[in-house]
């Protein structure tokens, strides 16, 4: 990797030094975001973290109103939910607050963190690679935040509603009282998992660009991918009704189709470049 000015070749030590400063700046920004969240932790917990566990969460009302407008009856109206959290350790609330702050800081600072990563690898890219990677920070960040929003506003309510209303046995022997850290860990995993899964189009672009996949490959395995997506949607939805499953499955199916289109465009670019070189 050459240095940004292109004057000389960087040594291994120079690479480590550059990486160290990128990591230091990334950690500083992450900690600043985490501290800001920790300072406002009570408001964030009440209005953001615990919101999907309330009956008046925006998603529940929106889906129920949509169901009535589409003349589907109560198909999209989820059962009432009332999740009461418990703790069994003295340090539970503090550690949960730290977890919220750390993960929240990571989400808020994500564009800057990726920008620092981009600045580190940018000097190693050729002019052609730089041309194709234009706008990468915007698209990677947009996909991540769209996925995080999907996880928070759609997947988390469906998941919590399903689990909170799931019963085991008919005698009432089991009382559902999840712990605080279990709830927060589940929400964090859903948001981060969806944020990363929505990077599928970006991943498809990179893999197609280096020749590991193609549009034909994705088309050939489309039916298997669709089956897996539908199974996942059926598992996480609170009822066996097809409408609720479709609402969860559609965004994931669209992501796959977008990946196919991106791979097809990259294939055309690769063929065009090969003809120019031949």
Per-residue pLDDT reduced to its tens digit, 100-113: 999 999 999 999 99
- Scanning 210-241, the segments in alpha helix (DSSP H) are 215-220, 222-236
The Cα 158–Cα 168 span in angstroms is 19
Say what the alpha-carbon torsion angle 154, 160, 161, 165 is, to the nearest 10 degrees.
160
The Cα 271–Cα 214 span in angstroms is 12
Residue 205 predicted with pLDDT over 60: yes
CA dist 18 to 6, 123, 170, Å?
15, 11, 62
The Cα 52–Cα 101 span in angstroms is 18
Kindly report the number of other CB atoms within 10 A of residue 17's CB atom.
12
Do the beta carbons of residue 185 and residue 156 sit within 8 Å?
no
Residue 47 predicted with pLDDT over 90: yes
Alpha-carbon Rg for the chain, nearest whole angstrom, is 23
The Cα 275–Cα 26 span in angstroms is 42
Q: How confident is the model at residue 4 (pLDDT cuts 50, 70, 90)?
A: very low
Q: What is the pLDDT of residue 245?
A: 67
Q: The whole model's pTM is what? A: 0.81
Q: Calculate the CA 272 to chain-centre distance.
A: 34
Which of 34-48, 138-152, 264-278 is modeled with the greatest confidence?
Answer: 34-48
* Rounded-to-5 percentages of helix, strand, coil across the chain: 75, 0, 25
pLDDT digit string (tens) for 151-190? 899 888 887 887 777 777 777 777 777 888 888 988 988 8
Do the beta carbons of residue 154 and residue 238 sit within 8 Å?
no
Kindly report the number of other CB atoms within 10 A of residue 263's CB atom.
22
The Cα 236–Cα 230 span in angstroms is 10
What's the whole-number average pLDDT of the chain? 82
Q: What is the pLDDT of residue 6?
A: 46
Kindly report the number of other CB atoms within 10 A of residue 250's CB atom.
12
pLDDT digit string (tens) for 219-265? 888 888 888 877 866 665 545 556 556 766 788 889 889 999 988 88
Sign, CA torsion 46/51/179/193: negative
Residue 37 predicted with pLDDT over 90: yes
Q: What is the pLDDT of residue 28?
A: 96
- H helix or E strand, kind and range, residue 26: helix 12-39
Q: How confident is the model at residue 118 (pLDDT cuts 50, 70, 90)?
A: confident
Q: Calculate the CA 16 to chain-centre distance.
A: 30
CA dist 272 to 150, 259, 278, Å?
37, 20, 10
């Amino acid at each position: 990797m050459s240095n940004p000015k292109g004057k000389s070749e960087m040594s291994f030590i120079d690479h480590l030094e550059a990486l160290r400063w990128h990591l230091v700046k990334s950690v500083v920004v992450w900690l600043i975001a985490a501290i800001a969240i920790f300072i406002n932790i009570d408001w964030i917990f009440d209005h953001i973290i615990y919101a999907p566990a309330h009956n008046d969460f925006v998603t529940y009302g929106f889906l129920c109103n949509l169901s009535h407008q589409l003349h589907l009856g109560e198909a999209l109206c989820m059962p009432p939910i009332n999740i009461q959290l418990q703790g069994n350790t003295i340090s539970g609330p503090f550690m949960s607050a730290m977890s919220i702050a750390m993960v929240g800081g990571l989400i808020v600072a994500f564009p800057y963190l990726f920008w620092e990563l981009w600045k580190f690898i940018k000097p190693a890219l050729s002019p052609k690679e730089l041309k194709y990677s234009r706008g990468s920070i915007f698209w990677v960040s947009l996909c991540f935040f769209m996925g995080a929003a999907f996880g928070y506003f759609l997947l988390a309510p469906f998941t919590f509603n399903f689990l909170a209303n799931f019963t085991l046995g008919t005698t009432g022997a089991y009382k559902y009282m999840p712990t605080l850290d279990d709830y927060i860990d589940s929400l964090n995993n859903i948001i981060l998992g969806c944020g990363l899964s929505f990077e599928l189009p970006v991943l498809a672009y990179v893999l197609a660009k280096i020749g590991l996949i193609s549009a034909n490959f994705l088309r050939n395995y489309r039916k298997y991918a669709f089956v897996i997506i539908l199974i996942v949607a059926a598992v996480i939805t609170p009822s066996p009704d097809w409408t609720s499953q479709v609402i969860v499955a559609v965004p994931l199916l669209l992501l796959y189709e977008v990946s196919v289109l991106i791979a097809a465009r990259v294939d055309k670019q690769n063929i065009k470049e090969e003809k120019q070189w031949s």
